[in-house]
Amino acid sequence: MNQLSHEELMKLKSQLVAYQHQLQNRIAGIQAGLTQSMTQSVGELSAYDQHTSDLGAEMFERSKDLGLKDNLNVLAGKVQDALEAIEEGSYGVCDGCGQPIDSDRLRAIPYTTLCYGCSERLPDGDRRPVEEEVLKPPFGRSFKDGQDYTGYDGEDAWQELARWGNANSPQDVPPAVDVSQAYVDADELQGIVEEVEGLSRRPQH
C-alpha cells in the first residue's frame, strides 16, 4: 500500500533499529541512577539533617529522570511498532486517512503513524497540563476575578501574599515595571471595594 521502494524501506528499518538501540542505552543509563535511594545519590547517611532545599533539588532531579525515562519508553514503543509494521507490510500508511505518508516525513520521523495533514488536525495538539486547571491562576478554584463577587476570594488571598514577594519578575507580568507590581492585578486597591474607602489609609502630610 505504501509508495516506498524496497531500498528506502530497508534504510528506514536500519534507521529505526539504530534509534531503538540508542533509546535502550539511554533508558538503561537513567535506570542505573534510579536504583539508588535519594540519600545514597547525594552521598549522605541520612536525610534528616539535610536542608530542605537540597532535598528538594534532588527530588526535582529524580522526578525529571522518571519523566525522561517514561518519555523514552513511549518512543521505544513507537519504534517497535514501526518495525513490526515493516514486517507486516503496513508501514508508511497514515492511521488517520489511510493514505501513504510522504517519504520525506518518514525519513525525518521514521516512527510516525500520521501524515502531516492528520497530525495538524489532532484535537489535543496544544493541550496544556491538567494541573493548570487548578494552579493557574493561583488559587484557581476560588479565583473569582471578573465575577460579580465582593467577598474575600482566591484572588484577594493571592494578592495579599504576593505583595510580600514571589518568584515573578516584572517581565513575567506585563506591564509591571518593578517587583512590587509583579503579580496579578497588582494595581487593584487592596482591602477596599470603593476608592473612597481607602482615604483614611493614605498618609497624612
1 neighbors 93 (Cβ within 8 angstroms) = yes
Q: What is the pLDDT of residue 196?
A: 66
pLDDT digit of tens for each residue in the chain (205 aa)?
446 788 899 999 999 999 999 999 999 998 887 777 666 666 665 665 565 666 777 778 888 888 899 999 999 999 999 999 999 988 999 998 889 999 899 999 999 999 988 888 766 545 666 776 666 666 667 777 777 777 788 888 888 888 887 777 787 777 777 877 777 777 776 656 566 665 655 455 4
Task: State the CB neighbour count (10 A cutoff) for residue 24.
Answer: 13
Beta strands per DSSP E along the chain: none
Tell whether the torsion through CA atoms of 116, 122, 126 and 129 is positive or negative.
negative
Q: What is the pLDDT of residue 1?
A: 45
Which pTM was predicted? 0.55
3 state SS for 21-79: HHHHHHHHHHHHHHCCCHHHHCCCCCCCCCCHHHHHHHHHHHHHHHHHHHHHHHHHHHH
Question: Residue 94: which residues within 8 A CB-CB, separation 6 or more?
Answer: 100, 101, 113, 114, 115, 118
Q: Which amino acid is at 185?
A: D
Q: What is the pLDDT of residue 198?
A: 58
Q: Where are the domains of the chain?
A: 6-91, 132-191
Q: What is the pLDDT of residue 21?
A: 96
Q: 39: burial class by Cβ within 10 Å (0-12, 13-18, 19+)?
A: middle
Using DSSP, how many helices (H) and how many strands (E) does the chain show? 7, 0
The backbone torsions φ and ψ at residue 188, rounded to the nearest 5 degrees and listed phi first, read -75, 150
| Grid cell 474575600 in the structure block, residue | 152
170 neighbors 179 (Cβ within 8 angstroms) = yes
What cell does 42 get? 547525594
